Amino acid sequence: ETSTAGNAAEYDFVVVSNRLPVDHVVDDDGATSWKASPGGLVTALEPIMRSNDGAWVGWAGRPDLDIAPFDNDGIHIVPVPLSAEDVENYYEGFSNDTLWPLYHDVIAPPTYHREWWESYVAVNQRFADAAAAVSAEGAVVWVQDYQLQLVPKMLRDKRPDLTIGFFNHIPFPPYGIYSQLPWRAAIIEGLLGADVIGFQRVADASNFARAVRRLTTSTTKTTTIEVASPGRATRRVIAKAFPISIDSRSFEELARQPHIQARAREIREGLGNPKTIMLGVDRLDYTKGIGHRLKAYGELLADGRIKVEDVTLVQVASPSRERVQAYMDLRDEIELTVGRINGDFATMSHTAISYHHHGYPREEMAALYLAADIMLVTALRDGMNLVAKEYVAARFDDDGVLILSEFAGASDELKRALRINPHDIDGLKEIILQAISMPKRERAARMRSLRKRVLEYDVSRWSTAFLSALAGVRGDRDTAES
Ligand code: G6P
């Protein structure tokens, strides 16, 4: 029992996610500090947390840390410890070697291990207990993403007074794929503990509804699910699409700053001022289709349809899940391909691919977006893809061409991007050529339309929509009980 145990249950708004918004990092000299953690989730939720004075329950990003809760920049941080074994079985194993490939259309083969599942259950229970301990009576708890799908039910069993939301940041797969999972029914039951279950796309929500019909006795009617539990009144759960977004204005403001624009010019010069700079920005993940985009670019160079002096590709691939085998294999494959293309086509003054295995701060990303004539998003499957939205938000000059995979959630909204099927290499090559030669007037018209969407549907609109749906369910329940 910690000293705060008696008065810890005081937060009315609690976010629960695998990762805290900050990672605990140790430098080479042994000094420790906190640094913004990777992924789109943090960027999406941070502004809401600041304005809500809530608590955030999550993992600090390293094994075997036992850190007391603390306040960081207006957010109460509640670290959940994971042992080295938990990291291996719950995080690297079940979350990222079972669920991640399964939910992304089995692009990589999912591995099913019973030990990993047991660890997933145990760790989910730990997160649920931690959330229950900080939540005030009647609080709103918002659980995030595929790592914590059992938490809604675990929380409801322990704290029926809470209003519980769940948002799935990644795709929810079609039943034919989902049904492979040996624990498919338990996950659905876990999720149905929430009052509102949010998905990125309408298709994800309907895949989920189908799984509910196949695996439970609950009935579904468009976005409403009637959950029947023995000995209790039926409970109404909403399951629908709430496409996530970014803090668009702040991204635009950043890009407008003179030093960012100067940095963008410097980047162009550093690359030898090619006519066209193409950019890819991804976590180094097999879902992102990085190999497909390299293949298309390499073939265009080999065919002589573009010249290395004219068209440079900048690829930022931020390190991710580096102890999972599929990610090690992917890194080898991508770096081999980059090396081959550069070896075949680079000259003493011009590289073909400027490859960076790093994450960069927001400032540098904004400058890169401004420097890039073409943004390449070629995901084979992606929940949303916030990079596409960041590129659009940064282009206050109404210039730049977005090439966007139809398999990214963002393509439901960004209709005037050049949409592609990344598996179709010839199609991708044609679209790249079309983007290179697109007249300025067409670029501006398309970008204006994309910007309208991204600036209007920003992250605060997303969270407001989700939280109003949650408040609506709670209102109905209060009425029913009184
Ligand atoms: C995706 C997931 C997030 C995750 C992020 C980074 O965006 O939806 O839940 O945090 O990737 O992955 P990591 O495994 O490093 O947390």
The 10s digit of each residue's pLDDT in 119-131 is: 999 999 999 999 9
Q: What is the mean pLDDT of residues 178-184?
A: 98
- Over residues 377-405, the pLDDT tens digits come to 999 999 999 999 999 999 999 999 999 99
Handedness of CA 471, 475, 481, 482 (dihedral sign): positive
Ranges 10-19, 37-46, 85-94: which has the least confidence: 37-46
Spacing, Cα 14 to ligand 1 middle (Å): 19
Chain centroid, CA 121 distance in Å: 23
Spacing, Cα 437 to ligand 1 middle (Å): 36
Test site for ligand 1: of 281, 283, 389, most ligand atoms within 8 A of the Cβ? 283
Q: What is the mean pLDDT of residues 250-269?
A: 97
Q: Does pLDDT of 40 surpass 70?
A: no
Measured CA to CA in angstroms, residue 346 lies from 248, 306, 315 at distances of 36, 13, 15
Q: Is the CB of 169 under 6 A from ligand 1?
A: yes
Rg (C-alpha) for the chain, rounded Å, is 23
Q: Is the CB of 40 under 6 A from ligand 1?
A: yes
Measured CA to CA in angstroms, residue 104 lies from 110, 123, 177, 381, 475 at distances of 10, 23, 10, 6, 35
What's at 353, amino acid-wise?
A: I
Q: Is the CB of 19 under 6 A from ligand 1?
A: yes
Matching residue, tokens 């209790």:
232
Q: What is the mean pLDDT of residues 85-113?
A: 98
Q: Is the CB of 41 under 6 A from ligand 1?
A: yes
pLDDT at res. 6: 42
Spacing, Cα 41 to ligand 1 middle (Å): 7
What's at 157, amino acid-wise?
A: D
Spacing, Cα 38 to ligand 1 middle (Å): 7
Spacing, Cα 22 to ligand 1 middle (Å): 13
- Which residue in 161, 158, 154 sits closest to 136, CA to CA? 161
- Residue 434: partners with Cβ closer than 8 Å, 6 or more residues away: 418
- Over residues 406-420, the pLDDT tens digits come to 999 999 999 999 999
Mean pLDDT of the chain: 94
Specify the ligand 1 atom closest to the Cα of 383. Answer: 8
Q: Does pLDDT of 3 surpass 50?
A: no
- Residue 259: partners with Cβ closer than 8 Å, 6 or more residues away: none
User: Is residue 332 packed enough to be buried (19+ CB in 10 Å), middle (13-18) or exposed (0-12)?
Assistant: exposed
pLDDT at res. 39: 52
Q: Which H or E run includes 411?
A: none
Spacing, Cα 103 to ligand 1 middle (Å): 13
Q: In this structure, which residue's CA is closest to atom 1 in ligand 1?
A: 39
Spacing, Cα 40 to ligand 1 middle (Å): 7
User: Is residue 262 packed enough to be buried (19+ CB in 10 Å), middle (13-18) or exposed (0-12)?
Assistant: exposed
Q: In this structure, which residue's CA is closest to atom 8 in ligand 1?
A: 169
Specify the ligand 1 atom closest to the Cα of 170. Answer: 8
Assigned token pair, 447: 């970008």
Specify the ligand 1 atom closest to the Cα of 145. Answer: 9
pLDDT at res. 257: 98
Q: What is the mean pLDDT of residues 219-232?
A: 90
What's at 86, amino acid-wise?
A: D
Q: Does pLDDT of 215 surpass 50?
A: yes
Chain centroid, CA 47 distance in Å: 16
H and E: helices and strands count for the chain? 17, 18
Matching residue, tokens 């939280």:
467
Q: Return the higher-pLDDT residue of 54 and 306.
A: 306
pLDDT at res. 35: 81
Measured between alpha carbons, how far is 79 from 71 in angstroms, rounded to an integer?
11
- Over residues 314-370, the pLDDT tens digits come to 999 999 999 999 999 999 999 999 999 999 999 999 999 999 999 999 999 999 999
Specify the ligand 1 atom closest to the Cα of 144. Answer: 9
- Over residues 427-453, the pLDDT tens digits come to 999 999 999 999 999 999 999 999 999
Largest CA distance in the chain: 77
pLDDT at res. 481: 66
- Residue 472: partners with Cβ closer than 8 Å, 6 or more residues away: 238
- Residue 230: partners with Cβ closer than 8 Å, 6 or more residues away: none
Measured CA to CA in angstroms, residue 73 lies from 42, 95, 144 at distances of 14, 29, 21
Q: In this structure, which residue's CA is closest to atom 5 in ligand 1?
A: 39
